[in-house]
Amino acid sequence: MAARYVDIHPDNPQPRLLQQVVDALRDDALIAYPTDSGYALGSRIGNREGRDRILRIRGLDDRHHFTLVCKDFSQLGQLVHVDNAAFRAIRAATPGPYTFILPGTPEVPKRLLHPKKRTVGVRIPDHHVVQALLDLLGEPLLSSTLILPGESEPRTMGWEIKEDLDHDVDVVVEAGETPAEPTTVIDWSEGEPEVLREGAGDVSRFA
């Protein structure tokens, strides 16, 4: 089946269209959606196939760190263990183009945790449409930056994704301009922040 293309207004997302995307997610769809740092692939956390489909599209193995995209800090706090030092710094940097790798809580299904470290990535995007989707969905999204095998930058054009991944994803969300730089990834699982990938987020605050 070809992917459905949903064009949502970036500043005033139409409730009817948001509902269509959320209904698809609840029906175990895999979506490509814009964020504040390029496009990402997303599915419900409970969608068992979602994880495998993301790995397949991206050409990755089981050791890939998935990201749980959260609406706000309280949602994030249910999924990962955050100590006091990390708490303050992460709170100050969110919402924004950062992914933080932290030890998962029992709320996170084992299959989504890093097999050895028992960690998972979390992030709170600064993107109006994503926030509206998360609000309506009522739970975090299992997510991964849409960087295809052999490419180094995340995809930024909805119509291109629709052309290239028409039969690999179920829904492509379009919502205007999308920046091309991926998130800055900070591993905070060992008690000190370690920059794993320098991206859109300023790393100096974690130096």
**pLDDT at residue 124, rounded to an integer:** 97
**pLDDT at residue 115, rounded to an integer:** 87
**pLDDT at residue 64, rounded to an integer:** 84
Q: Judge contact between 101 and 120, C-beta under 8 A.
A: yes
Worst-scoring range by mean pLDDT, 36-40, 58-62, 191-195?
Answer: 58-62
Q: Judge contact between 21 and 174, C-beta under 8 A.
A: no
**pLDDT at residue 65, rounded to an integer:** 85
Residue 162 CA to residue 158 CA, distance in Å, equals 6
Domain count, the chain: 1
DSSP the chain: -PPEEEE--SSS--HHHHHHHHHHHHTT--EEEEEBTEEEEEEETT-HHHHHHHHHHHT--TT---EEE-SSHHHHHHHB---HHHHHHHHHH-SSSEEEEEEBPTTS-GGGS-TTT-EEEEE----HHHHHHHHHH-S-EEEEE---TT--S----HHHHHHHSTTT-SEEEE-S----PPPEEEE-TTSS-EEEE--SS-SGGG-
Q: How confident is the model at residue 203 (pLDDT cuts 50, 70, 90)?
A: very high
Mean pLDDT, range 133-140, rounded to an integer: 97
Widest CA span in the chain: 48
**pLDDT at residue 1, rounded to an integer:** 86
**pLDDT at residue 85, rounded to an integer:** 86
Task: Say yes or no to pLDDT of 8 above 90.
Answer: yes
Which CATH number fits the domain that encloses residue 112? 3.90.870.10
**pLDDT at residue 122, rounded to an integer:** 97
pLDDT tens track for 49-92: 999 999 999 999 878 889 999 999 999 999 999 999 899 999 99
**Which domain range does residue 77 map to?**
4-206
Quote the tokens at residue 119: 């960690």
pLDDT tens track for 138-188: 999 999 999 999 998 899 999 999 999 999 999 999 999 898 888 999 999
Residue 128 CA to residue 14 CA, distance in Å, equals 12
pLDDT tens track for 82-116: 999 899 999 999 999 999 999 999 999 999 999 88
Kindly tell me the burial class for residue 163, based on how many C-beta atoms sit within 10 Å of its own C-beta (0-12, 13-18, 19 or more): exposed
